[in-house]
Amino acid sequence: MTTELTLLTRVAYRGQEVTAPRLRGLLALLAEDLRAGCSTGRLVEGLWDDELPERPGKAVQVLVSRLRSQLGPDVVASTPAGYRLALTEEQVDSSALPLRAAAAEARARAGAHGDALAEAEAGLALWDGVVASGDGEDLHDPVAA
């Protein structure tokens, strides 16, 4: 399975860069728990740490609509309490990396060192080692976190 959503080195879906800060934050928050997603309240809390919009629930709906129009209607699914990404752990680099690390460790313990190396290399390929600058603006950014 290929990685669809990149969060570790940049924010992009299927190679299409996502540059709007709130959309980037929305993706990062939704990627925290791919199975359950986030409640609308959690999204509001994570996206507006300074001044809340007049209608926070509606503001989240607008962001989800913008994200769907930019990346496709099937990227974000609605849940009874909020939203979730319609992606598997293998499709999101920030989730796929720990999976690869765990698989490498398990294969190494089993003595399959070649397979362990292949898993580790696949995990390393997900991240180019570049760390975003921490100039203070990123302190409340879900992507930086």
Q: pLDDT tens digit string along 51-74?
A: 899 999 999 999 999 999 999 999
Q: Which residues contact 52 (CB under 8 A, 6 or more apart)?
A: 44
Cα separation, 78 vs 38, in Å, equals 10
Q: Which residues contact 112 (CB under 8 A, 6 or more apart)?
A: none
Cβ proximity of 85 and 31 under 8 Å: yes
Sheet with 82-85, strands from edge to edge, namely 38-39, 82-85, 76-78
CATH assignment at residue 50: 1.10.10.10
Residues 56 and 105 in one domain: no
- For residue 133, tell me if it sits in a domain: no
Number of folded domains that form the chain? 2
Residues facing 84 on adjacent strands: 77
| Global pTM value | 0.81
Residues 34 and 79 in one domain: yes
Q: pLDDT tens digit string along 90-144?
A: 999 988 888 888 888 999 999 998 988 888 888 777 776 665 544 444 545 566 6
Domain that holds residue 101: 93-124
- For residue 129, tell me if it sits in a domain: no
- For residue 58, tell me if it sits in a domain: yes
